[in-house]
Amino acid sequence: MFRIIVFFLILYLLYLTAKKLIRYFFHIESLEKDKKNDRSDGITELVKCSVCETFISKDLTIKEYKNNELYYLCSKACQEKFKG
């Protein structure tokens, strides 16, 4: 009986670890956040990245202020180019 309890405990811990690894590597949190922030009609607001000019959901952008003006950036690489 004790072995069965230990077996299921180890199995549950492996499940939790695998779940965290999958969320970490595939960024599921950001996808879930994007789903929560969608408007009820299914349309999200898109903004243009100030560096590479790609369009991205406003909720997922990196925001930078320069000369009291707000700029939207799509990635850390664009953020570094913007600052540089």
Nearest to 63 by CA among 78, 52, 53: 78
Cα–Cα distance between 27 and 20 in angstroms, integer?
10
Span 8-58, pLDDT tens digits: 999 999 999 988 887 777 665 555 555 555 555 667 789 999 899 889 888
Domain ranges across the chain: 1-37, 40-84
Span 56-77, pLDDT tens digits: 888 888 898 888 889 999 989 9
Specify the pTM: 0.49
- Report DSSP letters for 29-83, one per residue: HHHHHHHHHS-TTS---EEE-TTT--EEEGGGPEEEEETTEEEEESSHHHHHHHH
Predicted local confidence at residue 12, as pLDDT:
93
Predicted local confidence at residue 38, as pLDDT:
52
